[in-house]
Structure 1
Amino acid sequence: MKQLITITLLCLTFAHAQEYKVADLKVQGNKKLKTSFVKKISNIKAGVVLDSSVIEADIKLLKRLPSIAHAYYQVFPAGDNSYNVFYNIEENFTIIPSANVYTTNDDEFAYRLGLYEFNLFGQNMTFGGFYQKDIYSSYALNFRAPYLFSRQLGLAINYQDLTTQEPVFFDNTTADYKYNNNSTEVLALFQLNFNNRFEIGVNYFTEDYEYKFGAISPDIPQELRVHKLLYKLIYEYNTLDYDFQYVEGFRSILNFQYVTSRNETQLPDFLIGWNDFQYFKRFGAKGNWANRLRLGVATNNDTPFAPFSVDNNLNIRGVGNTIDRGTAAIVLNTEYRQTLYEKGWFSLQGNAFVDAGSWRNPGGDFGDFSESQNIRVYPGIGLRFIHKRIFNAIFRIDYGIGITDNSTQGLVFGIGQYF
């Protein structure tokens, strides 16, 4: 029936689009998600020309929302050369716990536990936070409402108090510092059109470094507290199309930041930017190839507090907890996901991956990318336990094994796909 309705609509659109109008948009299947919200963000409205391309774009947008597991449409005659359009919604359960756990063969153990509501007030708003234990305790609160003011304009507010033990690298030695980052961020969210969106805002934060143990140097402070202001711009180009756990298409996310210190005599201002290129391809009914390439560069200050880190939970599975830093980075993550079992709401995926990356040393040059001590290559395998009716309810287990010099190996647990 759906295929017949779709074919009929296509014929009507391409033959006499100007003669047929939308009598009404009706929303079915939604329970928690407000009908008024679906109509607010949809381009199909009563009185507009019946256009299959506009309807398809609306459906793709709906399937990207955390609150929706799946969506499809139907079209029925309403008389007088007009048609009723029905958007059929299959909702996600959206009050979701989050968890990330990671270990290495060096007996490192850290975890992050959170709880988020992804459909607050039925308006597709996200609110929640997390608690993290990585030697020290940390927490954060996040609010995000991309359609708060209109289909195009929204708001995000984030607060974070993050404390970790961070290695600092200098003169071929290492020291460990207790690092605290306390930040408040406000972002304006703007969706230009279906494929393009922007975020722009400001983040005020305080960084606090306290020496714990390891090497010392008269040039490296053992205590450092600095107030900073960060101006942020994010641009995303997105053509991804979702079908439950499967993804196809291309996405590019550019993140550019300018950071200025409020303590003028301590740390210089710097720029940092990176771009994530993501490409997903379906293979047959059950295969999915996923790729992420990150290119990042920052002001090349010769400092042990360089911004790009090599880390288990960020970029290289199995490598360990912040084992190196740099002022530029190239990271490639590629994996093939195969559905091994699927019935009703449950799906089991297996995956094989390769994570690889290299970094520019602080104060170094781009030739550092080819230095063997900066290159990390970690192949591995994993499993995904997926609940298809709960947003992001993907429990993942990955085991990465390093094949480059001085490598480690380890497990990485988490909620959601790695990328």
Structure 2
Amino acid sequence: MKYLITLLILFSVFANAQDNTVTDLKIQGNKKLKSSFVKKIIQIKSGVKLDSTIIEADIKLLKRLPSIAHAYYQVVLVGEHSYNVFYNIEENFTIIPSANVYTTNDDEFAYRLGLYEFNLFGENITFGGFYQKDIYNSYALKFRAPFLFSRQLGLAVNYQDLTTQEPVFFENNTAEYKYNNESVEVLGLFQLNFTNRFEAGLNYFTEDYEYKFGAKNLNIPQELKVHKLTYKLIYEYNNLNYEYQYVDGFRSILNFQYVTSNNDTLLPDFAIGWNDFQYFKRFGKRGNWASRLRLGIASNDDTPFAPFAVDNNLNLRGVGNTIDRGTGAIVLNTEYRQTLYEKNWFSLQGNAFIDAGSWRNPGGDFSDFGENHNIRIYPGLGLRFIHKKIFNAIFRIDYGIGITDGATQGLVFGIGQYF
């Protein structure tokens, strides 16, 4: 009712908006999040003309922040053509553990445990890291401050030392390698406006392959260490609107990378790009349809180290841990989420999903996308246990069952929605 009254006031006010001004802007409800930070990133300021479209955009922006569970506004008349604006904030708890566990029916088991602070110093800065056990030990650290320098300019710095057992595919055979990727990444972050943002920077990394078992090929070394430099550009269009666990709207994320290598024989320089198209639609009070379409393409080198992986935790729930690779990918994840129970801070959500994808073979052509052995389809069911006042506190369990030739099935556990 308060929100409706506020809207009615605004509509009547803006009929004569030429002289209406904001006398004072007040931030309420925040504890850890600094009011000075909120005022830095929003557009409404004291002394400017009262504008409902700007206020709505500010609220939409605030609800996207990890530190905020919900936000709304009030407008109060304090004098002739003078108004106070109140931004009311419900904060998230932002020191969050993360966990991902995935298995398949051939007894594969891997997990990743992490801890992140999403509101460091009350400035919406993310800092944290993870430990991963996937046969071998791995770890990473992450720093991300999208508003570090201004409401438009920020910085991200990431470090990881990732070691896994990876299959290498060649001539209808498979070899297993111990794979290590140690990298340092620095990105500049630029928010053009409310819906458009860019990231650009460099990633320097070393890839180390060590043969463990499986098929051998004289043309493929059993040990390989390569230094690489990646030039990275990301563009995001984001018009999503959040209401606690519900999402509505469209988002597109384009990721383009050019990778240079000191080994031109097996791992030549290559370009890679992919675009994630995400669409979310509310149905009634408790339903939410979510879809993600990924289109990816890379330089079509005939190499066993192709960049696009078929993986349990990336694209197809239940498929296994890196079971294939390609130089192109088409992946569709679509699911319907239904809230089964909701009270105060807790929500239980069920979902039914279909994950489907196809890959282009290294050195192949676009007809590979239509080949039966490259197409994989995994329907399944899942549950979400959601804490509405802790950022990303969504514990998910999904079980995917493959229905194409040679398919597997398995559980995928994790923190946060799958996409």
Is the contact between residue 67 and residue 119 of structure 1 (CA under 8 Å) also seen in structure 2?
A: yes
Q: Distance in 2 between matches of 1:350 and 1:343?
A: 15
Residue equivalent to 1:298? 298
Name the amino acid aligned to 1:108. Answer: E
Is the contact between residue 229 and residue 262 of structure 1 (CA under 8 Å) also seen in structure 2?
A: no
* Secondary structure at 2:367 match in 1: helix
Aligned-pair distance for 1:265? 5.8
Residue equivalent to 1:118? 118
Residue equivalent to 1:224? 224
Q: Does 1:339 align with 2:339?
A: yes
Gaps of 5+ in 2: none
Name the amino acid aligned to 1:83. Answer: Y
Q: Does 1:5 align with 2:12?
A: no
Q: Distance in 2 between matches of 1:84 and 1:106?
A: 63
Matches within 5 A, 1:16-415: 16-263=16-263, 267-415=267-415
Q: Distance in 2 between matches of 1:207 and 1:405?
A: 33
Name the amino acid aligned to 1:6. Answer: L
Aligned residues: 418
Aligned-pair distance for 1:263? 4.1
Name the amino acid aligned to 1:213. Answer: F
Name the amino acid aligned to 1:397. Answer: I
- Percent identity, please: 81
Q: Distance in 2 between matches of 1:321 and 1:187?
A: 29
Q: Distance in 2 between matches of 1:205 and 1:18?
A: 56
Q: Deviations over 1:356-379 (max 9, x none)?
A: 000000000000001111000000
Q: Deviations over 1:270-327 (max 9, x none)?
A: 0000000000000000000000000000000000000000000000000000000000
Q: Distance in 2 between matches of 1:348 and 1:37?
A: 33
Q: Distance in 1 between matches of 2:248 and 2:386?
A: 18
* Secondary structure at 2:406 match in 1: coil
The runs of 4+ residues in structure 1 deviating greater than 2 Å are 262-267
Aligned-pair distance for 1:268? 1.3
Q: Distance in 2 between matches of 1:148 and 1:323?
A: 40
Name the amino acid aligned to 2:243. Answer: D
Q: Deviations over 1:376-400 (max 9, x none)?
A: 0000000000000000000000000
Q: Distance in 1 between matches of 2:26 and 2:110?
A: 47
Aligned-pair distance for 1:63? 0.1
Q: Distance in 1 between matches of 2:210 and 2:8?
A: 66
Give TM-score scaled by structure 1 length. Answer: 0.99
Q: Distance in 1 between matches of 2:404 and 2:263?
A: 40
RMSD: 0.7
Aligned-pair distance for 1:78? 2.1
